[in-house]
A and B are shown apart, each in its own frame.
Chain A
Amino acid sequence: GAGVSQSPSNKVTEKGKDVELRCDPISGHTALYWYRQSLGQGLEFLIYFQGNSAPDKSGLPSDRFSAERTGGSVSTLTIQRTQQEDSAVYLCASSSRAGTLYEQYFGPGTRLTVT
């Protein structure tokens, strides 16, 4: 597709279980971002991948959170031993560099509910 896609769109899991969230960025985009958005709140930065550089993990809230980006394309965000406070919408975005221009596009998000 033309846009950023995320799967699943909704995920309900029990406390203590691990979850994996997937992001397919726009083809050719070198940068990929993960954000978390709690109900009615702003966007909380989690992690940023740019090309082959080491990712910026400074936003990950705990060592239960990790992410990888395989082949410079698809990314997976993993949350281990989920807690109720992990419930939120997880948004992925990608951007491309054209000259000096950056435009960041978002996917529809994955709504995670931890029961």
Chain B
Amino acid sequence: GQQLNQSPQSMFIQEGEDVSMNCTSSSIFNTWLWYKQDPGEGPVLLIALYKAGELTSNGRLTAQFGITRKDSFLNISASIPSDVGIYFCAGQAVRYIFGTGTRLKVLA
């Protein structure tokens, strides 16, 4: 099925470092969502973006809706071990299209 290009696929970082991941698409979206999934759980919504250029923060998380409406990024500042998991982006035109996921591992 159709998916967004999400990068990086995986990353290993040291505790305290900042993390950045992004999603790109050839299609224009009206909404971007970012999720985190822990093992054995369903994805949990982190941030929702509704306007091109919008920059939204949720604690140590910051996400932006790209000006072209074809991309979005998520930053995590000062990573901690519990940030480990898989992060998914999702873009919505009619229905949601999901990115392939970024697997984050934090080394204490």
Number of B residues whose C-beta is below 8 Å from A? 25
CB within 8 Å for A100 and B42 given contacts A43-B88, A45-B95: no
Q: Give every chain A residue within 8 A of B31 (Cβ-Cβ).
A: 101-102
Report A87-111 CB contacts with B as 1/0, cut-off 8 Å. 0000101000000111111111100
A48 contacts partner chain B, Cβ-Cβ < 8 Å? yes
A42-B100 in contact given A48-B95, A104-B33 (Cβ < 8 Å) = yes
Q: Let me know if B45 and A108 touch, CB within 8 A.
A: no
Within 8 A of A (CB), among B25-59: 30-31, 33, 35, 41-45, 48, 50
> When the two chains form the complex, which single residue of B33, B50, B98 contacts A45, counting CB atoms closer than 8 Å?
B98
B48 near A103 (CB under 8 angstroms)?
yes
- Asked whether A28 is an interface residue with its Cβ less than 8 Å from the other chain, the reply is no
Interface flag for A44 (CB, 8 Å): yes
Cα–Cα distance between A100 and B92 once the two chains are bound (Å): 12
Minimum Cβ distance to chain B for residue A90 (Å): 10
B96 at the interface (CB under 8 A from A): yes
B90 at the interface (CB under 8 A from A): yes
B 74-95 to A, binary, CB cutoff 8 A, 1 in contact else 0 = 0000000000000010101011
Which residues of A does B touch, CB under 8 Å? 4, 33, 35, 41-45, 48, 56, 58-59, 91, 93, 100-109
